[in-house]
Amino acid sequence: MLFSSPTEVKRVFQTVLWDMDGTLIDSEPIWQEEELELARINSIPWSESDSQNCIGGPISRVDSYMRGRAPGRFTEGELSNLLISRIAHRLSQGVQFAPGAHHLIREMISENVKLGLVTASARVIVEAALPSIGDIFHTVISADDVPIAKPDPTGYLNAARNLFTPIEECLIIEDSPNGMRAAIASGAWILGLKHGKELPESPRARYLDSLDGVTFDRICNLFIEK
C-alpha cells in the first residue's frame, strides 16, 4: 500500500538506512583500481569486465572470482585480505561522497531523520572511510557485524532494531543487485539507484538513476499514492 500524503510519508521515513560503496561514497572506482593493481602484481588476468562482475560483493565472492582467474595459486581468503588492506589504505587518505549524497544527508539531518549505515564491506574499510563521511550515523553495521553479508537482510534488520524502528517503516537506499535483494528481503521501503544497471524489482521499491540533484521531498513523493 502506498502512502496518501507527503506528511504520512515523512512520518514513515523518519529512519533511513544507507548502503555505503557507490551509494553514499564514490568508492567503486577505488575498488576497481585496487582490484586491477592487486591482479597485476600477482600476474592474475583481469579486466574491467571482471571488476564489473565483482561490484556489490560480498568480498568472499570477489575472492572466489579472483582465485578462479588463477587456479591453484592462492588459498581461500588470501586475496580478499590483501584487497581489504589496500582498500582501507586508500579510503583512509580520503574519499568523496557519491554525487548528490552529501546534500541529501545534510537535508535528512536537518529534518532529524535517524540514519543508519549498512555495508557489505569489512569493518576496517568502514573505519577508514568514516573520517571522510563524518559522525552522522546513529548505527553502523559492517560485514564483520553479521553472520552472513548481503544479500542476507540481517544487517538491515539489525540496524532498524538498533534505531528502534520497525523495518517496515524504514527507507533503504541501495545501488547493487545484492544490496537490493537484502533490502527487499528485509521488508523495508527501498530506493534503488540504477547507475546504468538493472536492479531487482519489488512493489516496495522505487528507482532513480542517481542521487545527483535529488531532494528528500522528491524521494518521499515517489512513494505517494497517485
Confidence at residue 7, expressed as pLDDT on a 0 to 100 scale: 55
Structure-model confidence comparison of residues 226 and 23, the more confident one: 23
- Mean pLDDT calculated for residue range 77-99: 96
Confidence bin at 54 (pLDDT 50/70/90)? confident
pLDDT at 6 over 60: no
pLDDT at 208 over 80: yes
Confidence at residue 4, expressed as pLDDT on a 0 to 100 scale: 58
Confidence at residue 102, expressed as pLDDT on a 0 to 100 scale: 98
Q: What is the rounded CA–CA span in Å between residue 223 and residue 220?
A: 6
Confidence at residue 1, expressed as pLDDT on a 0 to 100 scale: 46
CATH number of 6-26+97-221, picked from 3.40.47.10, 3.40.50.1000, 3.20.20.70, 1.10.3720.10: 3.40.50.1000
Confidence bin at 202 (pLDDT 50/70/90)? very high
Confidence at residue 58, expressed as pLDDT on a 0 to 100 scale: 77
Confidence at residue 10, expressed as pLDDT on a 0 to 100 scale: 54
pTM of the model as a whole: 0.90
Confidence at residue 49, expressed as pLDDT on a 0 to 100 scale: 84
b/e burial code for range 121-160 (CB count within 10 A of at least 16 → b): bbbbbbebbbeebeeebebbbbbebbeebbbbbbbbbbbb
Q: How does DSSP classify residue 97? A: B
b/e burial code for range 188-197 (CB count within 10 A of at least 16 → b): bbbbbbebee
Confidence at residue 3, expressed as pLDDT on a 0 to 100 scale: 61
